[in-house]
Structure 1
Amino acid sequence: TAPGAHISGRDDVIGFLAVFQEAFPDLRLKLKQLLTDGAAAAAEGTLTGTHTGVLHAPNGDVAPTGRVLELRWAAVYVTEGDTLKSEHLFFDQMDFLGQLGLLPG
């Protein structure tokens, strides 16, 4: 999400993921490490994909650049039974924009 943005609920999460799936139709997530402790978990991995679809961003749509993205991410999860109660996703947004060629030269 955009810096400081918050999404809540199943529909918002699905919508957030759909934005990436549309922009990067060949999107792949690779889990490198998963740590668990009771109801808490932490994970890290990479996300790869080619920007061949429109990216619907908070400041407007970004036309496909054709660039390949390889982004490192980390996340912290809290569960309650079989339900995901929270996820905090971290990735370098400047790296994301830079790889797509969207930063001023």
Structure 2
Amino acid sequence: MAERNLVALWEAHCRCEFETRDVEATMATMVPAPYVNHVPTMTGGVGHNELKHFYQHHFIGSNPPDFRMIPVSRTVGESSIVDEFVLRFTHTTEIDWMVPRIPPTGRPVEIAMVAIVRFEGDKLVHEHIYWDQASVLVQLGLLDASGLPVTGAEAAQKILDKTLPSNALMGNKWQRV
């Protein structure tokens, strides 16, 4: 029963953020002093007022119209959920929380992400969101991957299709046994 409740709470929170794009409804799914940390960029907020300001001005409503989350895996514990997903969008709006100060490039982005979410009772306490920022920057044309051990959309595509090649960044050093 607890597993279904956490999943329902998390999915309701995500609907408020990404479907209805309702700041008040999103905040209502959270404890009085929640926090969100997008780890690669350290964006989000701590406490009701700061997080509400962040949601109003830098997150909810600012994501591109084609913003889509593709579920990959979910682990549910007694008081937390770990969600792995692929995020797809075209960079047609300023996305302060992911690429602060970068104007829209019009380029597509596909990125593997992980959200670690903790609950108290029937409210969300915090979200820690992780992704590979180098992969985002490569896809936006802001980082030249030549000679660097980074990829672009290939990393997310590999999450969705395990049959795609592994070890390409190793070049000639990769040898099958």
The two structures have a TM-score, normalised by structure 2, of 0.49
Judged with a 3 Å threshold, the aligned counterparts in structure 2 of structure 1 residues 58 and 67 are, in CA distance, closer, same or farther, namely: closer
Once the 2 structures are TM-superposed, how far is the Cα of residue 104 of structure 1 from its aligned partner? 5.2
Judged with a 3 Å threshold, the aligned counterparts in structure 2 of structure 1 residues 91 and 39 are, in CA distance, closer, same or farther, namely: same
Matches within 5 A, 1:52-67: 52-56=92-96, 61-67=101-107
Judged with a 3 Å threshold, the aligned counterparts in structure 2 of structure 1 residues 11 and 51 are, in CA distance, closer, same or farther, namely: same
On the 8 A contact 2:59/2:96 being kept in 1, the answer is: no
Q: 1:31 aligns with which of 71, 88, 95?
A: 71
Q: How many residues align?
A: 103
Structure 2's unaligned 5+ residue stretches are 1-37, 146-177
1:7 and 2:49 matched: no
Give RMSD over aligned pairs: 2.7
On the 8 A contact 1:53/1:64 being kept in 2, the answer is: yes
Higher strand share: 1
Matches within 5 A, 1:1-105: 1=38, 3-5=41-43, 7-8=45-46, 9=48, 10-12=51-53, 14-15=55-56, 16-18=58-60, 21=63, 24-56=64-96, 61-103=101-143
Moved more, 35-44 or 52-61: 52-61
Q: Which has the larger radius of gyration?
A: 2
Structure 1's unaligned 5+ residue stretches are none
Q: Distance in 2 between matches of 1:52 and 1:58?
A: 13
Higher helix share: 2
On the 8 A contact 1:19/1:56 being kept in 2, the answer is: no
Judged with a 3 Å threshold, the aligned counterparts in structure 2 of structure 1 residues 20 and 101 are, in CA distance, closer, same or farther, namely: farther
